[in-house]
Structure 1
Amino acid sequence: MSGLVIVGADGSASSLGAVEAAAREARWRDAGLRIVHAFHWPVARMPLWQALPMPAEGEIRKMSEGLLAEAVERARTVAPSVDVTDAVVVGEPVTVLEAQSRAAELVVVGSRGMGGFVGLLVGSTAVHLAAHGRCPVLVVRDRSESTGPIVLAVDGSQAGAAAVDFAFAEAALRGVGLVALHAWTTWNAPMPPPQDPVEPYASGPGMLAQAEERLLAEALAGHRERYPDVPVELRVTRGGTREALIEASGTAPLLVVGARGRGGFAGLLLGSVSQAVLHHAHCPVAVVHQPGAR
């Protein structure tokens, strides 16, 4: 066994789906699985004489242990060979899971938990961890598993290189193919070197498209040789990145994105494309940070 997969459990159907996904990830990686439940004492913003009676700590721990037992049973049903441990930790779920991510190779959460507002596609815990997690974060959606290829968002930035590494390794673990998708417009495409000293910003027919195709090929350089058993489709499309990725996610088992791309504002931990696919993708989303980016 080498490594550890962490999954957050709160008793919701979404979190139980995340537990199953985390168990599969641990099995593929030959890693251990730790199921974590975090609880915190609610703050009563009312006069003491109007405060409602609060359950005792022992009662809360008993409920926590009960939902963890259900989660552990679910994980062992999916992956009987995986070493499963569990922990009840006092604290805000986002804080607890962020701290747990420091010792993990992957953190898995459901797209929505017990505290989610009706109508929200992704809960605050998932968004926070995608931005602040110290390892790749997998946000699981409530949908049946697809057997199609993983979709990888490629923008050619240095920040996105870690996502490329993750996607190839994940495809190899799952035994599926990979679609490397790069979407571009004249607004986000880097300016090619000038060809005409008189009109330095003029591009010949097809030059931008050719430059974007080269960008995609260069971003994958070396990976196809390292993972010869992973079938790879290179897909370059002209159009909005968000729209292209969301559409491609409809038949994918997983969408992999970098936390920030080449269009991100300095200081943002989660870019606009990553946020968009977290909220609107049709499949689970893995958000991968560049090592040392913090």
Structure 2
Amino acid sequence: MNMPVVVGVDGSPSSLEAVAVAAREARLRGRGLKVVHAFLWPIVYVPLGPWPMGQAVDALREEAGRLVTEAAEHARSVAPDLEIRCAVLAGGPLPVLEAESHGAALVVVGSRGTGGFMGLLLGSTAIQLAGHAHCPVLVVRDRPALAGPVLLGVDGSPAGEPAVDFAFAEAALRKTGIVALHAWTPWSVPVTPPPGPSAPHPPDPAALADRERRLLAEALAGRQEQYPQVPVDHVLVKGDAREALIEASGRAGLLVLGARGHGGFAGLLLGSVSQAVLHHATCPVTVARHFGDRRDDV
């Protein structure tokens, strides 16, 4: 199975919704699906006589196998012809999924769960996974995903280019459009001092808006020619990036962000913007970063 879509499961309703989304994503890409459950085996002291914990461990192993089997069956109900593999892997959810991301086209996880993925997206683990995975990470929300365009957060930095590429490819697969949103404030735009000894002038709002509008257009340059079938709506917002993205996510089928950047998305996945988007966006969220030398495309 070449570069499958990987989904982390734990038996919770959230992870089953992630399985359904992962199955659809795999079908769209013409790829297989790998269902993964991370399991921390009990650490016990081995007595000299018969091991009293043996039956309990066997029961836990059987339960883990049941979880992935049920998840695979759920995936087949969504995409019957999908090639599916199951794996129960020893370790914590973050290291397991990060390791799996090396050979994956996409990693899909639910926004909350129990068991092997308890608290996966309830704190720093989500930021670490999205920031360190070697493929895009799609976070599925508790609420059912609505049909809608791909919402792309644009900051114009080189670090944001993988997100732009992913958003256009995803919109083409889904046969939908893109809403490219760039949020900015006067404080997020560097001020160039005028020549001479005088102090820097306050930035002109109209000039700043024109500059940010050009930045948005330049960030998308070339992609619209590559994907002429994907309509693109350019949206420039003067205001807080968190609020703009979360508000716009209510009308989107997917929100795509880069791993980090500057301008309106300063500190993305390093501070409050990432946490707010991952926790409060209405639609699923994909974080796409630079993944180095990969042998296959997304």
What is the TM-score normalised by the length of structure 1? 0.87
Secondary structure of the 1:282 match is: coil
Q: Is the 8 A contact 1:112 1:126 kept in 2?
A: no
Q: Is the 8 A contact 2:186 2:205 kept in 1?
A: no
Structure-2 residue corresponding to 1:258: 258
Q: Does 1:147 align with 2:136?
A: no
Distance 2:291 2:272 in 1: 20
Distance 2:122 2:4 in 1: 25
Shift of 1:272: 3.7
Shift of 1:197: 9.3
Can you list the C-alpha shifts for 1:227-282, whole angstroms capped at 9, x where unaligned? 111111000010001110000001211111111111556xx964542222001111
Amino acid at match of 2:170: E
Shift of 1:97: 0.8
Structure-2 residue corresponding to 1:229: 229
Structure-1 residue corresponding to 2:138: 138
Query: Where in structure 1 are there 5+ consecutive unaligned residues?
Result: 45-51
Q: Does 1:97 align with 2:97?
A: yes
Distance 2:100 2:270 in 1: 20
Q: Does 1:113 align with 2:113?
A: yes
Structure-2 residue corresponding to 1:212: 212
Amino acid at match of 1:99: A
Q: 1:232 to 1:194 in 2, by over 3 A?
A: farther
Q: Is the 8 A contact 2:178 2:232 kept in 1?
A: yes
Distance 2:229 2:64 in 1: 43
Structure-2 residue corresponding to 1:47: none
Q: How many residues align?
A: 283
Moved more, 15-24 or 183-192: 183-192
Secondary structure of the 2:186 match is: coil
Distance 1:197 1:31 in 2: 61
Shift of 1:131: 2.3
Q: CA RMSD in A?
A: 2.7
Structure-1 residue corresponding to 2:71: 71
Can you list the C-alpha shifts for 1:163-204, whole angstroms capped at 9, x where unaligned? 000011111111111100001000112336859996753544
Can you list the C-alpha shifts for 1:130-149, whole angstroms capped at 9, x where unaligned? 12211110000121221111
Amino acid at match of 2:219: A
Distance 1:197 1:105 in 2: 54
Identity, in percent, stands at: 59
Distance 1:193 1:222 in 2: 32
Q: Does 1:288 align with 2:288?
A: yes
